């Protein structure tokens, strides 16, 4: 922000800052990506910024000069993938069911999860597949009766409800209170056609924002990961499990919009195969980057854009969490739950002699001191308890800084032996001795030979 905001207009920076603070996960993640992309571009190439979420002004988000015959006009979009989860269709119906449950039996709606299917007789090859619930399910009397019997029957933990043209779903009673409405859908969280509501919206947006600059700029769309890597990492195998691949959608957008190229950005987890054992534990984070361009564009120009934009975007800090993880935590926190925090793993190491080092997350230490950390998160508290159990004192404290790309550092506490906390017997046992004790009891009555050997001999008189 300190590097990007000075180059932005006051209204644009205020609007971006407000979106960064939003409790709505999709809005906040969108703003984070826009800020990050603008920072990376402006750090590497001369960039004019016109960012505006309202898009009332017909301008690109950024105008970038990379040494070509004309500048690049870029529109930055973050795709959440929510439409593929049928969230727009299911959220209203699910909230209605939870509210109806609470009216029938107060508090019961917080302990229900719903698994939706698709209407019977719908083949997987038919597009689009439709989730099996209607918007007004709570008004159906048959459903009300079934739901009421289920809620008051303590012997039933789950129930399959199938009312034609109303709902086909499985309801489960949970033992733990849900901090957010819990519902899922059998239909995969993937697009079923290259033409879908997300690709259509992207096409309409770039036509409006970039179309007027067709003759004076190269036009580019940057698609960022907002929770679904079908768009942000289209070359990933998981992006091809649906009816269409992410790459096919990108090429569809290029054919039906004025853009010359599309760049997809996200986070990818790769396996580190340098070790002897290859496992899921050997993952490391890296930048997911893919580019698609209009076949009518010059190959030399396309390669210049790809290499120079990749050079800029490689400076991006890799997100600590996947956007779908961040979104889940933010949604959980918005519904009153305590979102799980991520800390550096602490450790204890011994050095030669009596010294030892305790490494603890700086964020965890601060929350322990302020009383914010729950007692059950004992792995951090145990590290501090070890300081006292070892009866050592603090010799030095320093910070192990992990830089700006991490939201946590390590506090390194160096400990050394504390003699004041030990008994004299413990101190005595720790003092080494150079004396070797003779065998038996001969030392109680030393022989004359031993006595003679212990008396120093008089030096001989020297004659001249």
pLDDT at position 241: 52
- Count of beta carbons in the 10 Å neighbourhood of residue 212: 15
Distance CA 112, CA 101 (A): 9
pLDDT at 144: 93
Across 186-282, the runs of DSSP E, i.e. the strands, are 218-225, 261-271
Selection from 141, 135, 119, 133 nearest residue 166 by Cα = 133
Q: What tokens appear for 65 in the block? A: 């000069």
- Quickly list H helices, 319-376: 323-334, 362-370
Partners of 350 in the beta sheet?
A: 356
Secondary structure (3-state) at 214? coil
Find, among 125, 32, 30, the residue nearest to 80 by Cα. 30
Question: CA–CA separation, 230 vs 199, rounded Å?
Answer: 11
Check residue 263 and give its pLDDT. 93
Residue 378 in tokens: 């004992």
pLDDT one digit per residue (tens) for the chain, 464 residues: 777 777 777 777 777 777 777 656 677 788 888 888 988 898 888 888 776 545 456 788 889 999 999 999 999 998 876 655 566 678 888 889 999 999 999 989 888 889 888 775 544 444 567 788 887 888 999 999 999 999 999 889 999 999 988 999 999 998 777 656 678 887 766 777 788 778 888 999 999 999 999 999 999 999 988 877 777 778 766 544 556 788 888 999 999 999 999 999 988 777 665 554 444 455 677 888 899 999 999 999 999 999 999 998 888 887 777 776 666 666 555 544 444 455 666 666 665 555 678 888 888 788 777 777 665 555 666 666 666 666 677 888 888 876 655 567 888 888 877 767 777 777 777 777 766 555 555 454 555 455 455 455 555 554 44
How do residues 276-311 score in pLDDT, each as one tens digit?
A: 444 445 567 788 889 999 999 999 999 999 999 999
Q: How far is CA 353 from CA 360, 387, 434, in A?
A: 22, 16, 19
pTM of the model: 0.61
Q: State the Cα angle at 325 between 278 and 116, rounded to 5°.
A: 105
Q: How many CB atoms lie within 10 A of CB 243?
A: 18
At residue 270, the 3 state secondary structure works out as: strand
Integer Cα distance of 282 and 284 in angstroms: 7
Q: Residues with Cβ < 8 Å from 363, sequence gap 6 or more?
A: 341, 343, 344, 407, 408
Closest of 282, 290, 126, 115 to residue 185, by C-alpha: 115
């Amino acid at each position: 922000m300190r590097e990007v905001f000075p180059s932005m207009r006051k209204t644009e920076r205020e609007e971006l800052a407000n979106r960064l603070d939003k409790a709505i996960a999709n809005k906040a993640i969108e703003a984070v990506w826009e800020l990050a992309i603008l920072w990376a571009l402006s750090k590497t190439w001369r960039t004019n910024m016109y960012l505006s979420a309202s898009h009332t002004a017909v301008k690109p988000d950024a105008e970038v000069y990379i040494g070509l015959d004309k500048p690049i006009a870029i529109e930055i979009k973050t795709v959440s993938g929510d439409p593929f989860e049928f969230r727009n269709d299911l959220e209203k119906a699910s909230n209605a069911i939870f509210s109806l449950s609470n009216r029938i039996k107060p508090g019961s709606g917080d302990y229900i999860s719903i698994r939706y299917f698709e209407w019977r007789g719908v083949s997987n090859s038919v597009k689009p597949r439709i989730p099996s619930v209607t918007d007004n399910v709570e008004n159906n009397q048959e459903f009300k009766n079934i739901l009421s019997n289920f809620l008051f029957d303590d012997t039933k933990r789950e129930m399959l409800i199938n009312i034609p043209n109303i709902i086909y779903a499985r309801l489960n009673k949970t033992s733990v209170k849900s901090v957010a409405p819990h519902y899922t859908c059998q239909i995969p969280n993937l697009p079923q056609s290259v033409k879908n509501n997300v690709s259509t919206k992207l096409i309409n947006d770039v036509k409006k924002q970039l179309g007027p600059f067709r003759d004076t700029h190269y036009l580019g769309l940057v698609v960022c990961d907002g929770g679904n890597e079908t768009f942000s990492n289209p070359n990933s195998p998981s992006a091809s499990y649906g009816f269409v691949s992410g790459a096919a959608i990108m090429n569809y957008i290029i054919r039906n919009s004025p853009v010359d190229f599309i760049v997809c950005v996200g986070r990818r987890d790769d396996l580190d195969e340098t070790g002897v054992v290859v496992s899921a534990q050997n993952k490391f984070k890296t930048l997911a980057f893919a580019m698609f361009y209009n076949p009518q564009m010059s190959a030399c120009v396309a390669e210049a854009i790809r290499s120079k934009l990749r050079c800029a975007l490689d400076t991006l800090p890799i997100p600590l969490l996947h956007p779908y993880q961040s979104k889940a935590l933010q949604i959980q926190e918005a519904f009153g739950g305590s979102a799980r925090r991520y800390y550096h793993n602490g450790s204890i190491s011994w050095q030669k002699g009596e010294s030892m080092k305790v490494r603890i997350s700086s964020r965890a230490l601060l929350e322990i001191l302020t009383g914010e950390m729950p007692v059950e998160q004992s792995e951090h508290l145990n590290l501090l308890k070890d300081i006292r159990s070892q009866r050592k004192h603090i010799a030095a404290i320093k910070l192990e800084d992990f830089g700006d790309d991490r939201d946590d550092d390590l506090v390194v506490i160096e400990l050394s032996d504390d003699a004041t906390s030990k008994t004299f017997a413990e101190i005595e046992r720790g003092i080494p001795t150079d004396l070797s004790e003779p065998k038996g009891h001969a030392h109680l009555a030393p022989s004359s030979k031993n006595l003679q050997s212990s008396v120093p001999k008089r030096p001989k008189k020297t004659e001249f």
